[in-house]
Structure formats: structure tokens, C-alpha cells
Amino acid sequence: MGCGLSSQSSSYESTVPAVPSEPLSPEMAAPFVELFGEKLLRKGVEISVEEALGGKEAIGIYFSAHWCPPCRGFTPQLAKSWKSSLLSKGMEIIFVSSDRSEKEFQSYYKEMPWLAVPYARRDIQQLLNKKFKVQGIPSLVILDKEGQVITTDGRSKVSSDPVGQAFPWKPKPFSEAIGSSFRKGDAMLGKEAIAGKTLGIYFSAHWCPPCRGFTPTLAQHYKAYKEKGLPFEVVFCTGDRDEASFDSYCKEMVAEGGDWLALPWSSSAQRDELNSLFEVSGIPCLVIVDENGRVINKNARGAIESDPTGESFPWAPPAVVDLASPEGIEETPSVVLFMEAAESEQQKCLMSEMATFANKIIDASKAKGEDPAYRFFVAQSGDGAVPQIRKLCGLPEDVQAKPVMLLLDLADNGAFYASDHSEISAATIDAFTKAYEQKTVARQQMQK
């Protein structure tokens, strides 16, 4: 496969058509300069971001590496689509390399017809991976001309629509994506079935063992929620591979107490839209939304499992989470407060201070339509993951009475930072995160 790719490299370089355009203004270029730096690479020549991205309607950030077989399979497909259709529609692509050396980067980049972040800018590569939470490659993140994310699943968009009929693949509004027809048993219902309801969009499949493990619990709890009168409905969005499996799974759900709604098997386009809209990367996934489709909880599986009677409805994630079960800590920089030996009243006071700052961050993120920049965790006891995280960060096993505040950035190869503030308050947490952002606090490395 690698030889086949290399044989195409010269044709990529010689046949890419020129698309003249005016450079971006400094104001329009600013978000891209922040992402990529001042210069990008076009076949060995550095050019300014303003010149490179002028006139573009969408920018694809292509995370890839030559050592990755799926990347080597997708790269020629992407190049063919880009040259034949997407370039003329106004799409630029920027290669962000995960290759292991400059030599490997150069060899692989010869097979590509688009821009690249210079290999020497490993800092930019790390920041982009972190910002867009790239968990695996190849990955294609697509931005609009203002630098806002259109989709983090550009790979599937290009694969399913290589000529760009739906370019630039902006997701449909929730009201369109959810559709207007729902299966319930053998009956079909309209949008009245979800009117005024908090919805749980359940992405699941019968072939998936974790799904089959979670579905009975969800069904039992759903039945209890309905009996309690909660305005809640589940909509099953199948990932099954054939209609017979889908039908069989629906019957199993009903038998367990989950006589909820399902998108019909024929609604494959709607299912794809919902997967893309909510950036579902694995199943089972239960996305909780309000009736207008605004996300309350991106995956409420854990919240539902621990709430058999619906006391925590609608299951918005808490601002501050127990470190014993640190879900999501590896995805986002996280402020962690170790206070196992503190007195009960002191723990309440510290929790209140952290919650004050956490809610400020959450509210600011909601106003921008973004995920919060930080997560917040507290260790109130030595349960669960707490001892292991203490060990990885080199904290003493003999827990001290004085609370310890760290900031964990696990996406940065297991980095963490220690606060030197003698008191912990909303103000000092704010100062700590600002020091992290300004790189004025020392980076430390987790132990192995």
C-alpha cells in the first residue's frame, strides 16, 4: 500500500490546480494564527497563514502518520476527493503529523497535495491534538472560515460524500436531525411523543457487549422514572448491522421494561446526523438533551446507573466530581483537590470554593457554546482511583491534613502542575489556572 501511495506523489504535486484568492485580513487570520502559528508549509516553502487560507470556506485539519495503516488507506481517498471536488468548493487541508521523525514526515508529506504544519513545530502538533481531543488517527477536524468547529468527524463525512454534495457538512439543527417519526413497539408516533420532554438519545447496538450489559439497567430505571411521572423519554438510535438485529434488540428492550421510542431502521440518515451532532465516539452512549436539543449531559450512562429513582433528574453533571470515579479526567485539564484528611466542615468549605469557580467556568463556556476548559475533582477519601493518582503524582502515601491542589493535564503525556498557594479559594484556583495557561508554573511528569 505504501508503494502505491508513493507512486502517486509526483502527480499530486504537479496537478493540483491553483485557486487564486485574496489573503485573509489580520482579523480573519487571528484564530488560525493562534492555532497554527504564523507560517504553514506548502511543499517545502513556508507561506503565511493569511496567504494560505485566503478565500477558503472550510479548513480540514488532518491528523495522520505514515506508520498508521488506516492513515495510509485514507490519505489517497482524501487526496482524490480534495483534488477533484473539495478544493474547488473552497476547502483547504492542513496535515498535522504524528510521524516519529522529520524524515518520515517528509516522505509521507510527498504523498499529499495540501498544506502542513512544519514538523519542527511539535508544540503546535501537541496543542492541536489536545484542543481537538484527538484519540486516534486518521482524524479530520473541519473548521469554518471563522475557525469554529463544523465537525470532528470529517473522515466519515468525506468517506460517505467524496464529491462534497453536503459540503461543508454543517450539522443539521436538532429539530431536523431527530426527525418526526418514531417507532414504539409496532406503532409509529409523531413529534408529539417527544414534545415537552427531556430526552435520552441512546446510541447502542445488540452486537456490543457493554450495551447489552447497560440496557437492562436503563430499562429498569426508565420504567421507574415513568412511574414517578418524570417528563423523560428515551429515543433509541441503533448501531445494529441489519434490520433483523435491530428488531430483536427492540423486543429485548421492551421485555426488560424499556418500551421507549426508537428511530426506525429506515432512518439511517437521521442516525448519522445524530451521531455527528453529538460527536458519539463509542457505545453505549446516552446523551441527555432538553426538548430543544441543548445538551445537558454528553454521556449520562454513569449518572443513570447510580440513580434508580430519578432523584438527580435531568442528570446534569456536577460542577465538582469525586476523584474516586474520575470520568473524563484524561480528556480535559483538570483541577484536583486532595483533602482526604481535612475535617468535615473544612471539606464543605473547600468544596464550596471550588464549586464557585467551577460554575463560573461552566457558565462562561455555555455562553460561548463550548465545552468547559477545565474539569474539577476532589478526593474526600481514599476510595477508587485516589490512591493510584496520588502515587502517579508522587504524593506521600501518608495523607497530610493540609489539602493539596494539582492540575492534571493527562493529554500532555501525563503532565501535572502543583499549586503553591497556602490557602485554597475560588480566587486562588483562578490564579492557579491562569498560571498554567501562562506557563508560569513548573510542569511535572507523572511517575510510571
Its pTM stands at 0.73
335 and 266 fall within a common domain: no
Is 406 inside any structural domain? yes
36 and 120 fall within a common domain: yes
pLDDT at 9: 38
184 and 243 fall within a common domain: yes
pLDDT at 327: 82
The domain boundary, picked from 305, 331, 353, lies at 305
pLDDT at 93: 98
The domain boundary, picked from 261, 277, 305, lies at 305
Three-class SS of residue 341?
A: coil
186 and 223 fall within a common domain: yes
pLDDT at 312: 94
| Rg over CA atoms, the chain | 24
180 and 142 fall within a common domain: no
**What distance in Å separates the CA atoms of residue 338 and residue 323, rounded to the nearest whole number?**
9
pLDDT at 402: 85
Host domain of residue 288: 174-305
The residue whose grid cell reads 503524582 is 393
71 and 181 fall within a common domain: no
27 and 145 fall within a common domain: yes
Q: pLDDT averaged over consecutive 10-residue blocks of the chain (448 residues)?
A: 36 48 88 95 92 95 96 96 96 96 95 95 91 90 94 92 94 92 94 96 97 97 97 97 96 96 94 89 94 91 94 94 89 93 92 96 84 92 92 83 91 91 94 95 92
Is 314 inside any structural domain? no
pLDDT at 371: 81
107 and 190 fall within a common domain: no
Looking up residue 344, the CATH number of its domain turns out to be 3.40.30.10
Is 263 inside any structural domain? yes
Give 239's Cβ-side CA count (13 Å radius).
19
| Interacting residues of 65 by C-beta distance below 8 A, sequence separation 6+ | 71, 97, 98, 99, 100, 104, 108, 137
338 and 423 fall within a common domain: yes
**How far are the Cα atoms of 50, 121, 273 from residue 24, in angstroms, in the given order?**
5, 22, 32
Is 167 inside any structural domain? no
132 and 76 fall within a common domain: yes
Three-class SS of residue 423?
A: coil
- For residues 148-169, one letter each, b for 16 or more C-beta atoms within 10 angstroms of the residue's C-beta and e for the rest, the string is eebbbbbbebbeeebebeebbb
257 and 296 fall within a common domain: yes
Length of the chain measured in residues: 448
Is 71 inside any structural domain? yes
Q: Structurally, how many domains does the chain consist of?
A: 3
- 46: which DSSP letter? E
Is 311 inside any structural domain? no
27 and 81 fall within a common domain: yes
**What distance in Å separates the CA atoms of residue 328 and residue 334, rounded to the nearest whole number?**
9
Is 339 inside any structural domain? yes
Is 315 inside any structural domain? no
Strand partners, 35: none
